[in-house]
């Protein structure tokens, strides 16, 4: 299993799970502040369907701040889904190892620093990706 040790993967997994909880809480708190009425209305309809519905709810409300958290949560879910696979920890662009230090700072990173920098430069003026 490549460059990452099992203990490192487990540490990243814990980080991701903590981040996911924090992102959900922040997104919900922001939505309550900004859209108290509409959240109450919509939340009533999807009360016990879980996190995925919360994410969909946030998307529907199209709140920019909450949207950022939805993107985060999706990235976290994707990382959690792959963290125990052989794909995790490799750069999506060049295939090189993503250093553990970088993953610790950005557990959702899918590219090495060099490729991410290049990409941000290339797509600096691209619009927000559609969900």
Smallest distance from Zn ion to CB 89, Å: 12
Residue 125 has a CB neighbour count (10 Å cut-off) of 5
Judged by CB under 5 A, which of 91, 103, 107, 110 binds Zn ion? 91
- Among 2-10, 26-34, 104-112, 117-125, the segment contacting Zn ion (CB under 5 A): 104-112
Among 22, 29, 94, 105, binds Zn ion (CB under 5 A): 94
103 is a contact residue toward Zn ion (CB under 5 A): no
Q: Which is nearer to Zn ion, 30 or 89 (CB)?
A: 89
Q: Is 112 in the site for Zn ion (CB under 5 A)?
A: yes
Residues facing 97 on adjacent strands? 90
Nearer to Zn ion, 43 or 92 (CB): 92
C-alpha to C-alpha distances, 80 to 12, 39, 129, nearest whole angstrom: 9, 28, 21
What residues line the site for Zn ion (CB under 5 A)?
91, 93-94, 96, 112, 115
């Amino acid at each position: 299993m490549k460059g990452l040790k099992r203990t490192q993967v487990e540490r990243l997994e814990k980080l991701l799970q903590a981040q996911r909880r924090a992102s959900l809480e922040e997104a919900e708190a922001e939505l309550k502040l900004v859209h108290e009425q509409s959240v109450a209305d919509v939340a009533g309809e999807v009360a016990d369907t879980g996190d995925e519905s919360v994410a969909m709810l946030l998307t529907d409300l199209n709140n920019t701040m909450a949207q950022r958290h939805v993107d985060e949560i999706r990235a976290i879910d994707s990382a959690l889904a792959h963290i125990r696979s052989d794909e995790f920890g490799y750069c999506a662009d060049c295939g090189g190892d993503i250093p553990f230090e970088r993953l610790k700072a950005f557990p959702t990173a899918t590219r090495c620093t060099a490729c991410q920098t290049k990409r941000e430069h290339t797509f600096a003026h691209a619009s927000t990706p559609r969900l």
